[in-house]
Amino acid sequence: MFVDEIRIFARAGHGGKGCVAFTREKYRPKGGPSGGNGGRGGDVILEASHDLNNLIAQFFNPRLIADGGGQGLGQGCDGHAAKDILIKVPCGTMIWSLESPVDPDAVPTNPKIIKTESGELAEEIDLSQEAAPTNPAAMQKCELVADLTADGQRHVLCKGGRGGLGNRNFATSTRQAPRFAQPGESGDEGHFLFELRMIAEAGLVGYPNAGKSTLLTAISHARPKIAPYPFTTLHPQIGIMEYPDWRRIVVCDVPGLVEGAHKNVGLGHEFLRHIERCKILVLLLDMAGTDGRTPWDDYRQLLKELKLYNPTMLDKPRLVVANKMDEPAANANLKVFKQKVRRVNLITMAAAFDVGLPEFRQQLRHAVENAA
C-alpha cells in the first residue's frame, strides 16, 4: 500500500506538577519547603529520512502522543523528564496544520452572569450551546508548518509542557513556608496533514502505455512494472540516473495522465504533486500511436492537464521525447507532429530497445544543470 497523504493527531506530553513538601528531620523539625519541580513533557519530533518512501507507518499509527513529565517529589527531588518521540517521515513530507472551518452563521453567545446562593457572581454555562466535538475529517488544510526535504532534517511538531515549580522555589524571607506549587504546563497539540511530495529533479509525464516505466528502467536501476495495458504504474516510482563522473539525477515516474484527469478520469491528477517540485518535466509521447491516439493530440492534452492541475507546471523547462520510434507508423507520425507542433525540440528514442538513450541522458543533464 502506498500512502502519500494522511491526517494525524499529535500531542506533546504535559509537564509534571510541582510538589508541596516540607523537610522534617529529627533535629530540623521545621526544615523549610522542599517540594521538587515537575519534569518536562515529551516533544513530538519529526525527522526526514531517505530510507522511507511513503507514509505507511503513520497510516497505522495516526495518533502521535508523547508521555507527560513526572511529578516533583519531597526532599527536593524533581520529577523525571519524559522521553521525546521521534517519528521518521520520508524526505519531501510537507506538514500542514488542520483547522475546523469557521461557521459564518455561528453567533457568539454572551455568557449569562448569575448570582449564586452564597451571593457570589458566576457565569452560567448553557450546555446546549457547547461546541460540537471537532471532526478531523472535516478539517481544512490551513498553514504550512514544515517542509522536510533533506535527510536528517528535524522539526518539533508539538513542544512538551514545562514542569511546574515546587514550593521550595517560592520561599522568601517574608513567606518561608509557601503551601503552593505550580501545576505543569500542558503540551502543544493539534491536527495535522502530512503530505508527501517526492523530491526528484526530473519528472516523467505521459499517457498510459507511452513507455515511462520502460524509460526509467533503461536509465536507472529502478525496476517498475512494465506491461502493455494502461495504468500499470499506480504509485510514483523513483530512479537514479548515474553519469560516469558520479553526477546523479533523480527521476520520478508517475501514473499515466489522461484527458479529463482533472475531472478524476483515469487515476485523476493528484499524483502530479509528486512532480510539482521537479526542475524539469519530461513529456513522453507514444509516437507510433499504438493505442489509436495521435501524438500531437496527446501533447496538447498533456499540457492542458498540467495547466489545469497547476498553471506553474508549464513554467518549468521541459523535454519532449518521442518514444516507440522502432514501430513502422512512428516516422510518418513524427513528420506530421513536426508540422503541427512547431518550436518543440524532440528527442527520439525507442526505450524498449535502448535506442536514443545517450542523447536523452545528455540533454536531461544539460537541462537540469541550466535550470538549477
Ligand X SMILES: Nc1nc2c(ncn2[C@@H]2O[C@H](COP(=O)(O)OP(=O)(O)OP(=O)(O)O)[C@@H](O)[C@H]2O)c(=O)[nH]1
Task: List residues near ligand X by CB under 6 A.
Answer: 206, 208-214, 226-228, 230-233, 255-256, 323-324, 326-327, 350-352
Contact call for residue 222 and Mg ion (CB under 5 A) = no
Alpha helical stretches, state H, 14-162: 56-60
Q: Which is nearer to ligand X, 256 or 289 (by Cβ)?
A: 256
CA angle, residues 107, 111, 117, in degrees to nearest 5: 155
Least distance in Å: CB of 360 to ligand X?
12
Contact call for residue 54 and Mg ion (CB under 5 A) = no
The listed partner (Mg ion, ligand X, none) that binds 2, CB under 5 to 8 Å by sort, is: none
The listed partner (Mg ion, ligand X, none) that binds 346, CB under 5 to 8 Å by sort, is: none
Q: Which is nearer to ligand X, 136 or 230 (by Cβ)?
A: 230
Least distance in Å: CB of 1 to ligand X?
18
CA atoms within 13 A on the CB side of 105: 0
User: From CA 178, how far away is CA 32, in angstroms rounded?
Assistant: 9
Contact call for residue 213 and Mg ion (CB under 5 A) = yes
Q: Which is nearer to ligand X, 37 or 213 (by Cβ)?
A: 213
Q: Mutual orientation of helices 330-340 and 295-309 as an angle, nearest 10°? A: 50
Q: Which is nearer to Mg ion, 37 or 213 (by Cβ)?
A: 213
- From the list 99-107, 120-128, 158-166, 233-241, the region that binds Mg ion by CB under 5 A is 233-241
Least distance in Å: CB of 125 to ligand X?
58
Q: Report the candidate in 85, 97, 73 with the shortest Cα–Cα distance to residue 41.
A: 85
Alpha helical stretches, state H, 135-275: 212-219
The listed partner (Mg ion, ligand X, none) that binds 303, CB under 5 to 8 Å by sort, is: none
- From the list 144-152, 196-204, 207-215, 353-361, the region that binds Mg ion by CB under 5 A is 207-215
User: From CA 279, how far away is CA 124, in angstroms rounded?
Assistant: 60
Strand, coil or helix: 179: coil
The listed partner (Mg ion, ligand X, none) that binds 227, CB under 5 to 8 Å by sort, is: ligand X
Contacts of 117 (CB under 8 A, 6+ apart): none
Q: Exposed, middle or buried, 238 (CB in 10 Å: 0-12/13-18/19+)? A: middle
140 alpha-carbon distance from chain centroid: 15
Q: Which is nearer to ligand X, 53 or 237 (by Cβ)?
A: 237
Binding site for Mg ion (CB under 5 A): 212-213, 232-233
